[in-house]
Amino acid sequence: MFNLILFGPPGSGKGTQSEKIIEKYKLKHLSTGDLLRSEIAAQTPLGLEAKNFMDKGQLVPDEVVIGMISSSLDANSGVAGFLFDGFPRTTAQAEALDKLLKLKGTSISVMLALEVSETELVQRLLNRGKTSGRSDDTNETVIRARIQEYETKTAAVASYYEDFDKVVKIKGEGTIEEIFSNLCSEIDARLS
């Protein structure tokens, strides 16, 4: 299996690039943000709990997202690989993911980390908020809180995978096609 983590701060383009990558490489897309928004839309107890955190720009508790990913892995056996988008976001999530994958006889192949400056991130998120229908994208305070969460809790996830030599940094500014092509080069180098 080929299991990829697409990493980066909120607004770095993970969602956009994920769509292109899964189409080209036929990977199963697991976005915790999308999974959580589906739970909210379906008004499940999990969704209702998660919403309180998401509305404030805070991370949802680890056990909630880990449980969700565990179910998704079980529900998708037999795929060519997974693309994790927005997960893992804490070191505890990374450790849990490694264990879950090990139980399935597989592991993370590579983490591709998109790098974008903070001013550009805020601009992109506010722009996205005009059309995305996502309430967490319209309020600058919530956006800054999400970037703060990224810096204090999520950035460490890259160090975790660096210890295993699995991180490749990719410039996340430029055209969508340029960034996609740089991502594909790294994926191709590891698939061959």
Question: Which residues make up the interface to ligand ADP (CB under 6 A)?
Answer: 10-11, 32-33, 36, 53-54, 57-60, 65, 86-87, 89, 93, 136, 146
Mark whether 166 is an active-site residue: no
Q: Exactly one of 28, 37, 124, 128 is catalytic; which is it?
A: 128
Mark whether 146 is an active-site residue: yes
Residues 96, 135, 11, 131, Cα dihedral to 10°: 140
Min. distance of Cβ 95 from ligand ADP in angstroms?
A: 13
Min. distance of Cβ 188 from ligand ADP in angstroms?
A: 25
Mark whether 134 is an active-site residue: yes
Mark whether 124 is an active-site residue: no
Residues 87/97, Cβ–Cβ less than 8 Å: yes
By C-beta, is 144 or 166 nearer to ligand ADP?
Answer: 144
Written in H, E and C, the secondary structure of 133-169 is CCHHHCCHHHHHHHHHHHHHHHHHHHHHHHCCCCEEE
Residues 8/116, Cβ–Cβ less than 8 Å: yes
Number of residue whose CB is nearest ligand ADP? 33
Mark whether 128 is an active-site residue: yes
Residues 18/83, Cβ–Cβ less than 8 Å: yes
Q: What residues are labeled active site?
A: 14, 89, 128, 134, 146
